[in-house]
Copies of this chain bind each other. A is one copy, B any other.
Amino acid sequence: MDERVREHAEVLVDWSARVEAGDDVVVSVAEDAHELGVAVAAVLGERGANVTTLYGSDELSRAYLKGVEARVEGEAGEDGTGEGEIDGGDAAVDAADFDADPAVDRAIFEAADAYLRIGGGRNVTATADVERATRQAYAKARQGVREARMDTDWVSTVHPTRSLAQQAGMAYEEYQEFVYDAVLRDWEALADEMAKMKDILDDGGEVRIVTERDDAPDTDVRMSIAGRTAVNSAASVAYDSHNLPSGEVFTAPYDTAGEVFFDVPMTIDATRVRNVHLVFEDGEVVDFAAEAGEDALANVLNTDPGARRLGELGIGMNRGIDRFTDSILFDEKMGDTVHLAVGRAYDACLPEGESGNESAVHVDMITDVSADSRMEVDGEVVQRNGTFRWEGGFEA
């Protein structure tokens, strides 16, 4: 076995999930993530944990959901009501077509101490022909399962697969290097560095981000962060961080005003979206445009009122990630980037017992700040052209 796979497993189990002897650990292994699954099982055995392995296959999920669609269409045809028909005769699946309390899945996450999700399937678009309504209904019916899962020490990572290499536009071996550069870091040292950014945000009242480039519209946006707590997302449940890799500091802004141009492409609901431009007034998106995928963007923004407000300001600080790969797990943590998410805010950023922006969606959009940019907190520049103020070469 590639030694890096073993190291990835150790980081996941020890640094990220903090697994201890006697823990009940659920591992979900995607179709082509077998090798990392094997390495994780070995480490869990060494640590004295129990392991239960789920098969996280998108192709299997697709088959199940297509089966549900066939059943609902058949029932609609039988009773002849035609109720809820879409797409010229197909019956739409709604949440009532699923069991509201799937007993086994609920039991699994209620009994689990930790949940390790290892992505890495064979086709990132494996569920592309499942109706959007079906996917939404399934997610809605499984809200209770999702909440039980979120109550565990959960961590999400990926094993580098050919499918993900293709999504990234990279050769397989090149993509492996990319993933391990991002994952196999000195997390303790990065956590210490990110703590500096967290302290600045925790003490700050207003963030302003400015980019001025010849080849793209300017960004100049201000948002309030007073009273909010930043998360030092150091790829460990000990830091309220549930992604491996991570390497970002994020908080929950409000009262946003100004314009932002997001130059990093992304995929929303299987649609490629490029060069998004958002205009904020009084904390809300009042105008938007995208050079590609504007309909997908509009769908997001029209989901509910909270979808037009920001839920997150994130500062990417993982310099092991040196390029965009069309995967939010990596892209939003890339060093020298900033991202803003419309939609739901994380409770961890809010005063105890308070809720932040509420929405059914949370969609991150990223802008490159490596050049011709600055970020100010309360009027003081803390990052210019990607260099933080505690780093050599910083120009205030």
Contacts and interface: CB of A to CB of B under 8 A. Distances in A.
Nearest to A98: B50
B24 A104 contact: yes
Given A24-B102, A52-B102, A43 B60 contact: no
A184 to B, nearest CB: 20
B24 A103 contact: yes
Size band of the interface chain A makes with B: 35 or more
B99 A104 contact: no
Interface string A103-141: 111111011100000000000000000000000000000
Contacts of A70: 45-46
Interface string A168-190: 00000000000000000000000
Given A60-B41, A66-B42, A104-B24, A52 B53 contact: no
A51 interface: yes
Contacts of A31: 34
B38 A60 contact: yes
A351 interface: no
| Among A29, A34, A39, A45, residue most surrounded by chain B Cβ atoms (within 10 Å) | A45
Interface string A290-317: 0000000000000000000000000000
Contacts of A107: 107-108, 110-111
A111 B47 CA distance: 28
Interface string A93-105: 0000011001111
Contact of A54 (B43, B45, B52, B71): B52
A57 B42 contact: no
A64 interface: yes
> Which 5 pairs between the two chains have the least Cβ-Cβ distance?
A45-B67, A55-B55, A107-B107, A42-B63, A41-B64
Given A42-B67, A46-B68, A50-B104, 10 more contacts: A22-B99, A29-B57, A34-B57, A37-B57, A38-B59, A41-B60, A52-B108, A55-B55, A104-B108, A104-B112
